[in-house]
Amino acid sequence: MKKILVLLTALMFTFTLVGCSSTETKKDEPKEQTTAQETKENKESVELNISAAASLKDALEEINTNYEKETGNKVILNLAGSGKLVQQILEGAPADLFISASNAKMKDLVEKGNVEESAVSTLLENDLVMIVPKDSQEKVEKIEDLENVNGKIAIGEVETVPAGQYAKDSLTSLGLWDKIQDKIVYAKDVRAVLSYVEQGEVVAGFVYNSDATVAENSQIAQVVPADSHKPIVYPIAVLKESPNAETAKSYEDFLKTEESTKIFEKFGFKVPTK
């Protein structure tokens, strides 16, 4: 009888231990789940400073909305002429990634040591077009007509705006630059050229095809012959001194996704064939 009592006591003690262990495990499970959830919620977002050519404005704004929603990171977009952006970066302006509208401006940063040459790739391509106001009284249907107009013609600043350099090269190649140079007015970036034409302040202007897609009061008169200027490309690269280099590279990769590519194409850009 005594032995049976001891045996029963031992069994009851064992069941008690198992029950406690099971209860503790169940109590711990929500704690582990909460910890994982807290880790996700408390993950710090990164602020990326992106310096990009002004012609990318509409496409990047739409893509950045998608990127911020998907990653929780914040994109601070600095838009200007590519040459102006290079000046800002060289003067110490914060920039994690640079998208230029010409190889020449990206090359400036490579030569200055701000960008590794191996980090540069081509993101997009574009076309140069001549646009005119929809209600213009001047008959400007082709580039050659510019020689006979009375009004002004807008292009970007040649030194700092790639579209301005492309326009000058084309007009020179077509034998028109010297004939119309006194009619030229210069704008701080390609969007300013678009604005001049939209407001009827000039009879024609040279912008990218991507700019013409958002025009309301102007239209394309002619696509500028591609062989009259250098190829229009948009090189992209993460800055060497970026404090957020890894995140900036992931942003670059996001710009090359199928979803982003469709947005670029919607705004008139061309994506290089691989």
Q: Is residue 166 a known part of a binding site?
A: no
| Amino acid residing at 245 | A
By DSSP bridging, strand 204-208 and strand 47-53 are unpaired
How many CA atoms lie less than 13 Å away from 249 in the CB half-sphere? Answer: 8
Q: What share of the chain is helix, strand, coil (3-state, %, to 5)?
A: 50, 20, 30
Q: Is residue 196 a known part of a binding site?
A: no
Q: Is residue 250 a known part of a binding site?
A: no
- Give the DSSP letter of residue 270: B
For tokens 């005119």, what's the residue? 132
Taking the CB of residue 193, how many other CB atoms lie within 10 A of it?
31
Sort residue 39 into left (φ over 0), alpha (ψ -120 to 50) or beta: alpha
Q: Is residue 195 a known part of a binding site?
A: no
By DSSP bridging, strand 218-223 and strand 47-53 are unpaired
Q: Is residue 82 a known part of a binding site?
A: yes
Binding residues for molybdate: 55, 82, 163, 190, 208
Binding residues: 55, 82, 163, 190, 208
